[in-house]
Amino acid sequence: MATEVKIPAMGESISSGILAAWHVKDGDYVKKDQVLYELETDKITSEGAAEVAGVISIQVEVDEEVDIGQIIASIDESAVDAPVEKKADMPEVDVAPAEAVDSIVTTDAPVEAKVDPVATLSPAARKSAEETGVDTVSISGSGKDGRVMKSDIIEASENPSPALPATGPVPSPDPAEFVAPVKPSISHGVRETRKKMSPLRRKIAERLVAATQEAAMLTTFNEVDMSAVIKLRKENQDRFVERHGLKLGFMSFFTKAVTHALQAVPQVNARIEGNEVVTQHFYDIGVAVGTDKGLMVPILRDCDQKGFAEIEGDIMGFAKAARDGKMQMGDLEGGVFTISNGGIYGSMLSTPIVNHPQPAILGLHNITERAVVINGEIVARPMMYLALSYDHRLIDGKEAVTFLVKVKDAIEDPARLLFDI
């Protein structure tokens, strides 16, 4: 009897993924609940485990796109007994013929076993090594028991180790064959490198292009004086940390300001489905989080019912989950609006792309001291540019500008957030 291994459902918005890696080989005996593969989608990377024990027959290669519900392998349950596991891979030893024994020189030095480097490669790493031409012998694996992973191969291809100097004698050059050295280029190395785009990056690219084609996007800008928020945050930071055990950041202010603006301009809290406009009466705000595998947008639920401490706690929890690769699909679904903070990377101004099917996204940027005119006088203030990108099919310029002004007013006068005015 064989049990099919299928790609499980992962949420309404995900219909396919990329099979990023197999953790077992074709013909291996696998145990129940043993991790079999990694699946990359446009949102998260997840692992698939065996539902039964038996011998696996793999039907889909690494880096292939697979649909939800697709069969990628089968497990033969009739193989009930697992083969005896080897304690260690022993090196092959050449046995000398009897007549040659007397000629063998023996020493007291221990014999160093030679381990086949190919045996320590994961399937994805082996394929990546073939594509990049990386020598795997000198690579220290970051996986379990020193297993070389795909990320190790990619890092080695991007940062090659310097060649070791020759240990043998160097012959004198023949004057007749002497050629003048070529002057090195300014880069002192290769002029360009080429590597395959990661499956996750390809999928993100496809979604971004689709978003620009499916929505009539427009961006409206404004600027906000951060003086009041900075002052309020500085005055209450110590007491906030003492009371709640975490720091008060700027993102919680903007999350509450966006919620306030969505309540004031409900046209922005809507989405298009076919020929219908669906107005949403809840306030689940997505916060973009950068990871080493790409951008994730976890959702802060019911922001209209949460205080600053709850929002800060949610943000900290999501940031840790993203770093540790523990993000759940339910954490990424159902948002009505997204906030993207490019300012933490030093961005001065940008036009963020709407996270379809959401209608709009707010881009935050870095805070810089700039000269502004207040009450007829030129003064230096900590200023931030705001960028609201939105689907013009649903939101007119009047609603977009009103929404952005509401956010600006709430940040410049935080008392509005406290008293809901």
**CA separation for the pair 140, 149 (Å, rounded):** 10
Q: Residue 172 has which token pair?
A: 């004198």
Q: What pLDDT score does 98 carry? A: 39
Q: Report whether pLDDT(176) > 80.
A: no
Who's near 119: CB < 8 A, 6+ residues apart?
89
How large is the average pLDDT for residues 412-421? Answer: 81
pLDDT at 303 over 80: yes
Please tell me the distance from the alpha carbon of residue 318 to that of residue 297, in angstroms, as a whole number.
9
Question: Residue 377: exposed, middle, or buried by beta-carbon count in 10 A (0-12, 13-18, 19+)?
Answer: exposed
DSSP output for 70-124? -EEEEEETT--SPPPPPSS-PPP-PPPPGGGGGG----SSPPPPPP-GGGGB-HH
Task: Average the pLDDT over 226-246 and give the result.
Answer: 95
- 184, part of any domain: no
As a whole number of angstroms, the distance between CA 117 and CA 112 comes to: 15
Q: Which residues contact 5 (CB under 8 A, 6 or more apart)?
A: 36, 48, 50, 51, 56, 71, 72, 73, 74, 75
Same domain, 72 and 204: no
For residue 159, name the pLDDT band (cuts at 50, 70, 90).
Answer: low
Assign residue 355 the CATH number of its domain: 3.30.559.10
pLDDT digits (tens, 9 = 90+) for 346-398: 999 999 999 888 999 999 999 999 999 999 999 999 999 999 999 999 999 99
Confidence check: pLDDT of 401 > 60 = yes
Q: Indicate whether 157 belongs to any domain.
A: no
Predicted local confidence at residue 86, as pLDDT: 47
Specify whether 204 is located in the same domain as 70.
Answer: no
> What does the CA dihedral 366, 371, 375, 377 come to, rounded to 10 degrees?
160
Position 145 scores a pLDDT of: 62
Question: What angle do helix axes 227-244 and 250-264 make, rounded to 10 degrees?
Answer: 110
Q: Is residue 85 part of a domain?
A: no
331 falls within a domain: yes
Residue 411 is predicted with a pLDDT of 97
- Between residues 98 and 130, the one the model is more confident about: 130
Res 115: pLDDT: 47
271: domain range? 200-419
Q: Are residues 63 and 209 in the same domain?
A: no
75-84 LR contacts (CB < 8 Å, sep 24+): 75/2, 75/3, 75/5, 75/30, 75/50, 75/51, 76/1, 76/2, 77/1, 77/2, 77/3, 77/52, 77/53, 78/1, 78/54, 79/29, 79/54, 79/55, 80/53, 80/54, 82/29, 82/31, 82/53, 83/29
- Mean of all residue pLDDT scores within the chain: 81
Question: Can you give the pLDDT at residue 121?
Answer: 65
Residue 390 lies in a domain: yes
pLDDT category of residue 41 using cuts at 50, 70 and 90: confident
The CATH number of the domain holding residue 57 is: 2.40.50.100
Closest of 141, 404, 151 to residue 292, by C-alpha: 151
Residue from 116, 302, 396, 420 carrying the catalytic annotation? 396
pTM of the model: 0.64
pLDDT band at 187 (very low <50, low <70, confident <90, very high): low
Asked whether the predicted pLDDT for residue 233 surpasses 60, the reply is yes
pLDDT of 261 strictly over 50? yes
In a domain, residue 272? The reply is yes
Q: Would you state the pLDDT for residue 109?
A: 43
- Do residues 5 and 48 lie in contact, with contact meaning Cβ atoms separated by under 8 Å? yes
Categorize the per-residue pLDDT at 201 as very low, low, confident or very high, splitting at 50, 70 and 90.
confident
Structural contact between residues 50 and 34, judged by C-beta atoms closer than 8 angstroms = yes
Which listed residue (304, 392, 409, 413) is catalytic?
392
* pLDDT, average across residues 162-176: 50
| pLDDT for res 124 | 63
- pLDDT higher for 274 or 382? 382
With cut-offs at 50, 70 and 90, classify the pLDDT of residue 182. low
Q: Where is the domain boundary, 14, 47, 76?
A: 76
What is the structure's pLDDT at 355? 86
What's the pLDDT tens digit per position in 67-102?
999 999 999 988 765 544 544 444 444 444 434 333
> In terms of Cα–Cα distance, which of 354, 242, 262, 352 is closest to 303?
262
- Output the DSSP codes for 284-328: -EEE-EEETTEEE--EE--GGG--HHHHHHHHHHHHHHHHHT---
Average the pLDDT over 257-277 and give the result: 95
Residues 230 and 376 in one domain: yes
- Domain final residue pick, 76, 100, 119: 76
Three-state secondary structure call for residue 352: coil
> pLDDT exceeding 70 applies to what percent of the chain?
74
Give residue-wise pLDDT tens across range 278-294. 999 999 999 988 777 77
Tell me, yes or no, if 304 is annotated catalytic. Answer: no
Mean pLDDT across the stretch 14-36? 90
Does some domain include residue 242?
yes
- Domain final position from 76, 100, 115: 76
> Which residue in the block uniquely carries the two structure tokens 């996270």?
355
State residue 101's pLDDT score.
35
pLDDT over 70 at 171, yes or no:
no
CA distance 365 to 339: 11
260 is catalytic: no
- The domain total for the chain is 2
Cβ 31 vs Cβ 23: under 8 Å:
no
Residue 244 lies in a domain: yes
Both tokens of 377, joined, read: 């006088």
User: With contact defined as beta carbons under 8 Å apart, do 200 and 21 qualify?
Assistant: no
| Alpha carbon distances (Å) from 82 to 4, 85, 133, 329 | 19, 8, 35, 34
